[in-house]
Structures are given as structure tokens and as C-alpha cells.
Amino acid sequence: MAQHHLASSTLADGLAALHQLLDLLAALKQISDPLTSAAGLHEAITVLLQVATTAGANPDALAAISRVLNEEVVFNVVLAVVQYLASLLSGGSTTSGTAPTS
């Protein structure tokens, strides 16, 4: 009988965690600001932290991700990297001037 209670408790916990993850993924999908904006990146990182916490991610990794949100300088560096990568993926030029010709 104790094993049955333990199994149903574990199943209920697993289903609750799955439901929470699905809610967080829906929240990620609902982010209206682009990832290349400060607001959009902040929302995305917040949801990522919640997903990682729910999934039982390494506390050191969670602390590193939290640092991005909590330290303005770090956040701005990450935002600049995201914007740079987005410009590369969209085919935008990131250099000023033109390459020399021979």
C-alpha cells in the first residue's frame, strides 16, 4: 500500500511539473517584444530561469543566468551579443565601410 501511495504521489508531482513547464513554454511563446529589445530579452531570460528551475537545473547555472538579469552591465553585454547575432542571421552588415578591393 505504501508503494502505491508513493507511486501516485510521484506521478502527481511529475504531472504538476509537466503542467508548470507547459505553462512556462506558453509564457515564452507569448512574449511580445523582440528578443533583440531589452524588454524582450528580459522576459525571455525570466521565463528561461523559471523553466530551468522547474526542470531542476544546476544551481550554479541558475545563478549565472540570474546574474544576467541582476547586473545591468552583464545584461547589456548579453543584449549586445544577441543583437549582433540577430544582425548576422538576418544578413545585415555589422561593419562600417567596405572591404578593400584588389
What was the pLDDT predicted at 97? 41
What was the pLDDT predicted at 80? 97
Q: Return all residues near 23 (Cβ < 8 A) that are at least 6 apart.
A: none
What was the pLDDT predicted at 29? 76
What was the pLDDT predicted at 102? 44
10 Å CB burial of residue 41 (0-12, 13-18, 19+) is buried
Low-confidence ranges of the chain (pLDDT < 50): 94-102
The single-letter DSSP state of residue 101 is -
